[in-house]
Structure 1
Amino acid sequence: MQGKILAAALAAVLLSGVAHAQIKMGVGGPITGSDAAFGAQLKNGVEQAVSDINSGGGIMGQKIELSVGDDAGDAKQGRSVANEFIGEGVTFVVGHFNSSVTMPASDAYNEAGILEITPASTNPQITERGLPMLFRTCGRDDQQGAVAAAWLIAHDKDKKIAIVHDKSTYGKGLADETRKALTAAGVHDVLYEGLNKGEKDYSSIVSKIKSVDADIVFFGGLHTEGGLLVRQMRDQGVKAVLMGGDGIASQEFAAIAGPGVVGTLMTFPPDPRQRPEAFTVVKAFEAKHYNPETYTLYSYAAVQAIKQAMEKAHSTDAAVVAKTLHEDGPFKTVVGDLSFDAKGDVTRADYVVYEWRQGADGKITYAQIEK
């Protein structure tokens, strides 16, 4: 009889442990610093997904415990965030935002057996390294650059194109991929320059753009520098149209650039907020008075993919889940069905071109250009 009581007590303890077990997840991004607007998108997207999953019973009876790491857009701090997550026993990470941060952080995660999905880092080399635990829900700069170049070739082939980048892994990478595609088509830029990220005065760059009489300025970089560049171009009477990538896909870009931003072009996937799969989640964000733009829903989708892979694999082991992500897609998410190739890239490339426009209400925002 005593043996049965002990066995029952042991079973109760074991069951109790299962019931209270938690899946440790981290979200890493620039919560502070000049890229904080994007860090907020990653954080809000993951927090909403975790909240929705936990309120729905969790994953196979386990709840997600979330940690937030602030990398401030700095590679060294990103590595420190990765080490903190490793020390906390985190096994799944959504992040980081900047490609220059994701590169070193992903090395640490891979060595520790942590599965990472970046919703925003687009530099091709991130997944070309063949790290089995690394994925992304966004596209790549070679895909994005090809779309930007195709647009310029089709609409502005005979115009003078200047190329400016912010010298970052992302910015220079996007500029170089676009330049490579243009050159292959016989279109050569009249200026190729780098500016210093974090500076406020770009008058010297603007003077160079003015001196070559550029019609188009392709910019590889983020919204802060891009916005300042547009504003200072207009202040110096430069009417050249700026074209950028997903790094300027933020309302803060327009706020920094001012009214001269109207007519700016950019590449980004079709607006995920308009997808039927995202309707309920978008409404949940709107109820909180938050606009889930740019990478918010790509972050939410990363958590959804992890959840579904766990359920398909009947496991919360990161290595098993990674194998499932590689082999058992598609996974249904708020940004559409996602499958991952052997490198961890999504198998679809769906960049389109947007234009920043001023509406009848005076508000400036971006809208997809219909083909």
Structure 2
Amino acid sequence: MQMINRGTASVALAALILAVLGAACNGSTSSGTTNTSPIVMAELFPISGREAFVGQWFQHGAAAAVHDINNNGGVMGRPLNETLADTGGDPVDAVTAFHKLLLQNPTFMVGPSSLEIQGVVKLIDSAQLVDFMEGGTSQMDHMQYKYVFRTSASDTTLTAAMAYYAIQKGYKKAVMFFETTSDAADERDHVTKFYTANGGQILDTENLALHQSSYQTEVAKAFAFNPDVVFVKTDPQTGSTLFANMRAQGHLNVPLVSDDTGSTVDYAKAVGLDAASKYLVGVSGSPPSGPAWGHYLADYNAVWNTDKPLPLSENTYDAVVIAALAMTEAKTTDGKVWVDHILKVSNPPGTKCYIYADCVKLLNAGTKINFEGASGPDDFDQYHNTFGDWDITQFNADASSSTVVLHVPADAIAKYMAG
């Protein structure tokens, strides 16, 4: 048997590993053949816990995007594979879930939500993992992270829409019920700022500890002021008790203005479907009606057998498509490289394109593109944030459908935010 020098073998092995890694980053193998191995897409979502419905929103959009991409050649001939870790909606548990995902060697990640992002955002940037977080927390309005992007609009704009609706309806005297989470406190402060700056008056604010057996005292105190409108932000469990107490005291007959939670069936059920159909409104991202939206509905229907997408699912759909286009434009799956190509495919100038397959054709022809997604323009600012219109929506009596009761354009939101 021929003996091999260990030093020589170590050098050869190291060279081989580097060659394979380099080839993997550039989409081809060391023999020059096309690399068709899957690209791992990590998903860091709250699948359990008090806001598990948020994880469902994001899962649905991501799966629809994977369906579209994989049915149109993948990313440079490579399919996307999803791998999921549950945060439980907790920033501490999100750290463990994130490290679990890293063991799968993901190329990029979608999530987490506003509930957990502060627990992991520095870890994400340190890992140099391209990430598209989902959720509107204003704590990310001026983020300075190279690898973190957001395709959902900030809650700062959402709260401006809440205030805008109340003022437009002539509701000038408000009380507030907000849960005692940092995200809710941030929303509360912004609603107060925008509402009072535009002629409204906050008569009372009740901060609700989560999941208490009764809020009778808080309800009695707030409604002693005879408000025109109630601004409310709670999870469905807390809301169920709150609204039961309001009903018992004869106050479940005043307009209720909530955030995007108010546009969910779970929250309508917490209010009571009949009362929700009369008094509850929520805020939803205003979907465009162009080719991107139509194509998204077809993809969504193909995966979920319905053309009625869950709220905000279009944001994760767009995030996955943008990632795939950036890799294609950069001709590599190396995140340290294609992170700098995200704005090149999503922002102007460039030829507008709306569907993944069409955008890929343009890129392969050497054309600069400006992807316009299902959620809107997807133009990132210097803080990696995007903006858009909002709709104020209300469910019908059995929550089988919802109606847009007011459209709030981005320019109106900008004026409210400017005071």
TM-score range, shorter chain: 0.7 to 0.9
Deviations 1:88-115 (A, max 9, x none): 2223111112x13012222211110011
Structure 2 CA distance, aligned partners of 1:21 and 1:283?
Answer: 27
The answer on whether the counterparts of 1:163 and 1:189 sit within 8 Å (CA) in structure 2 is yes
Deviations 1:238-266 (A, max 9, x none): 02211011122212222222121122122
1:105 to 120, 126, 136: 120
Structure 1 CA distance, aligned partners of 2:256 and 2:330?
Answer: 46
Structure 1 CA distance, aligned partners of 2:109 and 2:379?
Answer: 18
Change (3 A) 1:211 1:85: same
Give the C-alpha shift of residue 339 in structure 1. Answer: 1.3
The answer on whether the counterparts of 1:355 and 1:367 sit within 8 Å (CA) in structure 2 is yes
**What amino acid maps onto 1:73 in structure 2?**
G
Deviations 1:300-344 (A, max 9, x none): 111011111112222222233322223442323222331111111
Structure 2 match to 1:319: 336
Structure 2 CA distance, aligned partners of 1:225 and 1:122?
Answer: 21
The answer on whether the counterparts of 2:219 and 2:246 sit within 8 Å (CA) in structure 1 is yes
Residue 152 (str. 1) matches residue 181 (str. 2): no
Residue 255 (str. 1) matches residue 294 (str. 2): no
The answer on whether the counterparts of 1:254 and 1:364 sit within 8 Å (CA) in structure 2 is no
1:344 to 364, 381, 384: 384
The answer on whether the counterparts of 1:227 and 1:254 sit within 8 Å (CA) in structure 2 is no
2:111 to 75, 95, 98: 95
Equivalent residue of 1:322, what SS? helix
2:84 to 68, 73, 78: 68
Give the C-alpha shift of residue 13 in structure 1. Answer: 6.2
The answer on whether the counterparts of 1:230 and 1:242 sit within 8 Å (CA) in structure 2 is no
Residue 331 (str. 1) matches residue 347 (str. 2): no
Between 1:336-345 and 1:312-321, the stretch displaced more is 312-321
State how many pairs are aligned: 354
1:368 to 404, 409, 412: 404
Structure 2 CA distance, aligned partners of 1:69 and 1:275?
Answer: 33
Structure 1 CA distance, aligned partners of 2:213 and 2:401?
Answer: 23
Structure 1 match to 2:229: 216
Structure 1 match to 2:208: 195
Structure 2 CA distance, aligned partners of 1:207 and 1:364?
Answer: 32
Structure 1 CA distance, aligned partners of 2:47 and 2:329?
Answer: 33
**What amino acid maps onto 1:323 in structure 2?**
D
Change (3 A) 1:109 1:254: same
Structure 1 CA distance, aligned partners of 2:213 and 2:72?
Answer: 47
Residue 353 (str. 1) matches residue 392 (str. 2): yes
Structure 2 CA distance, aligned partners of 1:73 and 1:250?
Answer: 17
Structure 2 match to 1:135: 149
Give the C-alpha shift of residue 162 in structure 1. Answer: 0.6
Deviations 1:21-50 (A, max 9, x none): 332211111111221222112122212322
Residue 306 (str. 1) matches residue 331 (str. 2): no
Identity level (%): 22
The answer on whether the counterparts of 1:254 and 1:365 sit within 8 Å (CA) in structure 2 is no
Structure 1 stretches lacking a partner, 5+ long: 1-9
Change (3 A) 1:113 1:269: same
Change (3 A) 1:289 1:199: farther
Change (3 A) 1:251 1:82: same
Residue 279 (str. 1) matches residue 294 (str. 2): yes
Let me know the Cα RMSD of the aligned residues. 2.6
1:86 to 61, 84, 102: 102
Give the C-alpha shift of residue 201 in structure 1. Answer: 3.3
The answer on whether the counterparts of 1:113 and 1:133 sit within 8 Å (CA) in structure 2 is yes
1:40 to 56, 64, 77: 56
Structure 2 match to 1:6: none
Deviations 1:101-147 (A, max 9, x none): 0122222111100111123x111222423111111111112211222
**What amino acid maps onto 2:91 in structure 1?**
A
Structure 2 CA distance, aligned partners of 1:256 and 1:185?
Answer: 30
Deviations 1:177-225 (A, max 9, x none): 1101123235331111211234453333322222222221101344443
Structure 1 match to 2:355: none
TM-score, normalised to structure 1's length?
Answer: 0.86
**What amino acid maps onto 2:155 in structure 1?**
D
